[in-house]
Structure 1
């Protein structure tokens, strides 16, 4: 008989999860039972053959969803957290890592296993050929490209930074549940255009891949970064020199700075500034210390440097902070 994702999107999965349905403007929210905590799926259905979903789900036990979709298309899923495994006949099980993944529909049944080991967060698109044919019928698409050729799409061709950003934009649009449905259709058109570019111009996505490899931080180097951070935390107001940190990490200064940023999401200088400003905020609660005293205590030559950095980190000056809290 088959499953009905073409017409109902994630509705059958939501029913399997025991969800209740709430309509929010032009988005449907499927809420899991209370014992799952704050768990839900938000889904927009702009037109036939297109569903866009954002999931934020904590499961108490693994859930196996069986799909038998008769319409040709694909499920594109941007995974940010959790354990999701794809089971397809005649293929090895695919455990989805963070990134965008593709499953073809309309050929054979498949299963998706949602594990309970960690919260599951993803943004996905059910995109069927019927939708593509209708919406690109009058568009000028290069004749050499055929969307049925998605068999040949390579992982890197739909995992470039601009496509990952597009999935993030879809995620936030679903969560605010107030953008017109036309927004989602336009975003899917943009997605397809980006994939066409990546398929046609191999140099583009290969350049992106090389850049990602250049920034990749190995497990061993990450361990060294935690040691570096530990050294910084021992005396944040009088941190080790870069020469000392190089000795801890066993790498050059440029690579050390790069690995630190890739591991923690901010530079060493930004981290030191944030931590110093936390200490400055603590010292501001002491009425006996003026701004000049505090600037010296956290390692600045004058109060102007403290004021500028304090405002950059916290959004207000030290004096504004004291007034705000009556200090």
Structure 2
């Protein structure tokens, strides 16, 4: 199997394979879907060697089945807004990415990306190679566990966190509107990696409580978490969550906090507020509409909850991107 050239082309390699029309201007590229499709694009910036940041919005008329095979170790960070993308790697079960932020680690083996026909995809991505990370650490003199070999120790909770969502949204609006200077993209990408490692470090410093959760219960709790992640704005009742966990409500709450280090309520609220941040990008929705969709009748209470999770109000977030 021949290597693909993500190291030099980023999503341009994917776009070239499927016949997208690509126009480049300096460090920026716009990949437009083929004329026989409805519409769509992938806009991308290459601020440093081995780093590509992209925002995509398209609907494929055909199934997209792409094998990324780069010999250089890299990390692919994907924040899914809408759509289903399945990732398949050798020796691992195929994984359909859920909304929010996901990390895929490539150590030089083929990585298969599959998108169903007719699927409306909207996502932000950061593709960063170990060589770029090494260059940054060497230039700054920092020593921090953020390389590909370190990433295997990171857990989903370290990746899909509110502090990460904010940076991903900044990158999304930066690359879509060419709003950031080139060095800022590099610094934001490195900030993501530092946050992953920091979130892992914070987790390690918490009192060890997992011993109270059996392996069998851990699997059940993961199903509860997966159900919340799948659709945080249309959650099942407490009774249904208990049924998924096969636990009483009190045991579910105690076990969830023991395993994930936060209450079930806190996790649900964080998931809702991450989705709210994505919805704030929709000009057709005002903050009152979004508050209602998130289950808040009072916009002020919604704003207070949003600020507690993200550190800024919904209005401040929108003003920051000129929305």
Normalised to the residue count of structure 1, the TM-score between the two structures is: 0.63
Corresponding residue for 1:91? 92
Tell me by how many angstroms 1:103 deviates.
1.7
Tell me by how many angstroms 1:16 deviates.
2.0
Corresponding residue for 1:107? 108
Kindly tell me: are residues 74 and 265 of structure 1, through their superposed partners in 2, closer, same or farther at Cα, counting changes over 3 Å? same
Tell me by how many angstroms 1:106 deviates.
3.0
Provide the secondary structure at the position in 2 that maps to 1:268.
coil
How many angstroms apart in 2 are the aligned matches of 1:168 and 1:41? 16
Larger Rg: 1
CA contact (8 A) 1:72 1:106 kept: yes
Corresponding residue for 1:19? 20
Kindly tell me: are residues 14 and 192 of structure 1, through their superposed partners in 2, closer, same or farther at Cα, counting changes over 3 Å? same
Q: Number of paired residues?
A: 232
Corresponding residue for 1:136? 137
CA contact (8 A) 2:158 2:199 kept: yes
Tell me by how many angstroms 1:48 deviates.
0.8
Corresponding residue for 1:151? 152
How many angstroms apart in 2 are the aligned matches of 1:65 and 1:261? 36
How many angstroms apart in 1 are the aligned matches of 2:117 and 2:15? 16
How many angstroms apart in 2 are the aligned matches of 1:20 and 1:216? 36
> Is 1:220 equivalent to 2:236 in the alignment?
yes
Kindly tell me: are residues 194 and 219 of structure 1, through their superposed partners in 2, closer, same or farther at Cα, counting changes over 3 Å? closer
How many angstroms apart in 2 are the aligned matches of 1:129 and 1:106? 10
How many angstroms apart in 1 are the aligned matches of 2:232 and 2:53? 30
Kindly tell me: are residues 61 and 134 of structure 1, through their superposed partners in 2, closer, same or farther at Cα, counting changes over 3 Å? same
Kindly tell me: are residues 140 and 49 of structure 1, through their superposed partners in 2, closer, same or farther at Cα, counting changes over 3 Å? same
Unmatched tracts of structure 1, length 5 or more? 207-211, 223-253, 272-327
Kindly tell me: are residues 266 and 205 of structure 1, through their superposed partners in 2, closer, same or farther at Cα, counting changes over 3 Å? farther
Kindly tell me: are residues 105 and 269 of structure 1, through their superposed partners in 2, closer, same or farther at Cα, counting changes over 3 Å? closer
How many angstroms apart in 2 are the aligned matches of 1:163 and 1:205? 20
Corresponding residue for 1:268? 297
Tell me by how many angstroms 1:193 deviates.
1.9
Cα shift readout 1:254-281 (whole Å, capped 9, x = no counterpart): 9xxx89987713622459xxxxxxxxxx
Corresponding residue for 1:183? 184
After superposition, residues 315-326 of structure 1 pair within 5 angstroms as none
Provide the secondary structure at the position in 1 that maps to 2:36.
helix
Normalised to the residue count of structure 2, the TM-score between the two structures is: 0.64
CA contact (8 A) 1:29 1:41 kept: yes
Corresponding residue for 1:239? none
Tell me by how many angstroms 1:24 deviates.
5.0
Kindly tell me: are residues 204 and 98 of structure 1, through their superposed partners in 2, closer, same or farther at Cα, counting changes over 3 Å? farther
* Cα RMSD after superposing both structures: 3.3
CA contact (8 A) 2:56 2:123 kept: yes
CA contact (8 A) 1:82 1:115 kept: no
Kindly tell me: are residues 41 and 100 of structure 1, through their superposed partners in 2, closer, same or farther at Cα, counting changes over 3 Å? same
